[in-house]
Structure 1
């Protein structure tokens, strides 16, 4: 483990988060573990028992369930103009559709995607667009949630998904995962 120097406020925040997460074992965050970026910039929760994997040329972060390997979490980080904020890219629905057209199911991909829901929320002085998709990828029906946010010229796309057949069992937990993505600095 690296030698990390904590400022007193960050140290207290970390202790508070650890205490809160362990105290919530029967609450909304039951079955979730905390991840914090090495630079302390952002954090999120992910399902207990999931493992992190590396994919060359893939998202910055990927986790998947060892038992249901098609249940995945990913974080894609992209640079954008520092002068742009999320609302300048469009409404939640417009940004959700752009993700479909350019990333999830570009023309010729053979993928079918439906944007089910798109909402705006504010947290930690940031605007987040929360998106819900139904997908048909290679004859497999999936359900995914994503949140999109811009911070300091960086676009974060955080997503979690599973097969449609498991959706009703995990949708509450997956909503908690998406809502947990936040900035610490």
Structure 2
């Protein structure tokens, strides 16, 4: 254990693990590394706070994926999952938490309903276009998957972007009842034999104040080849 802490202490500050006691500085990024190297998860740390301590492995992974961590927007941090093959930004003052059925999740420390979560399921499809026309797929997803029977769904925007040969669909939607409403962005994409979904949203009353902030999160989602 002493050897692990010694190695971590020798790494740049931006690779410090939040809450580890190695460095009290807030991390620039959160890494879920591969099983190669030493994993802090073995010592009781959150699975989402695993870090690869082999400097050579860091250099190899960063070179292969070409992730520009230096370009992380101000007031955001990067979550990078080399095991399950994806990355995204989240507001730097958010905290990670367990969201049932999801692979990773972060939430506002004061407004729990203001959060981002990522999940994925296996698929034989190779691209979101294989799901069908974008408008039809998103409509059915919001109406039949996201919305509860007592909620009225509204879709405000649908967009497609392409990056490194992969296509991403991002859409803004609201789920409302007569008493409560929640608005969110969702990004879906397919790669690595997986159908990924990122959802980031907030209480309807806060949406106008945080929409632009959460849009950065939705637009930052990227699949990594694994």
Range of TM-score over shorter length: 0.7 to 0.9
Whole-Å separation in 2 of the counterparts to 1:123 and 1:84: 15
Aligned in 2, Cα 1:163/1:55: closer, same or farther, shift over 3 Å? closer
> Quick one: distance in 2 between partners of 1:15 and 1:89?
29
Cα distance in 2 for partners of 1:14, 1:154 equals 18
Cα 1:15–1:149, aligned 2, differ >3 Å: closer, same or farther?
Answer: closer
Mapped pair 1:97 → 2:148 = no
TM-score, normalised to structure 1's length? 0.82
**Partner in structure 2 of residue 75 of structure 1:** 118
d(CA) in 2 for partners of 1:15, 1:149:
20
Show the counterpart of 2:12.
Answer: none
Deviates more, 1:1-10 or 1:160-169: 1-10
Distance 1:138 1:77, change over 3 A: farther
Check whether the contact 1:121–1:128 (CA below 8 A) recurs between aligned residues: yes
Name the CA shift for 1:110/1:155 in 2 (closer, same or farther; >3 Å).
Answer: same
Q: Which runs of 5+ in 1 are unaligned?
A: 22-28
Q: Is the 8 A contact 1:148 1:156 kept in 2?
A: yes
Given the alignment of the two structures, is residue 125 of structure 1 paired with residue 165 of structure 2, yes or no? yes
| 1:66 matched to 2:105 | no
Question: How far apart are 1:151 and its partner, in Å?
Answer: 0.3
Partner of 1:167: 207
Alignment check: 8 A CA contact 2:78 2:88 kept: yes
Question: Which residue number in structure 1 is paired with residue 35 of structure 2?
Answer: none
Q: Which secondary structure does the structure 2 equivalent of 1:67 belong to?
A: coil
State the alpha-carbon separation in 2 of the partners of residues 137 and 147 from structure 1. 23
Aligned equivalent of 1:39, options 76, 83, 87: 83
Deviation, structure 1 residue 46: 0.6
State the 1:139 CA deviation. 2.2
Structure 1 outlier segments of 4+, above 4 Å: 2-5, 12-16
Specify whether residues 50 and 14 from structure 1 end up closer, same or farther in structure 2 by C-alpha distance, changes over 3 A only.
farther
Partner Cα distance (2:206, 2:108) in 1: 13
Q: Tell me the equivalent position of 1:25.
A: none
Task: Report which of the two has the higher share of strand.
Answer: 1
Asked if residue 48 in structure 1 is aligned to residue 92 in structure 2, the reply is yes
Alignment counterpart, residue 20 of structure 1, candidates 67, 71, 79: 71
CA deviation string 1:22-45 (max 9, x = no partner): xxxxxxx22211100142722110
Q: Which ranges in structure 2 are unaligned for 5 or more consecutive residues?
A: 1-39, 41-50
What RMSD in Å do the two structures reach over aligned CA positions?
A: 2.4
Question: TM-score, length-normalised on structure 2?
Answer: 0.69
| Structure 1 range deviating more: 119-128 or 35-44 | 35-44
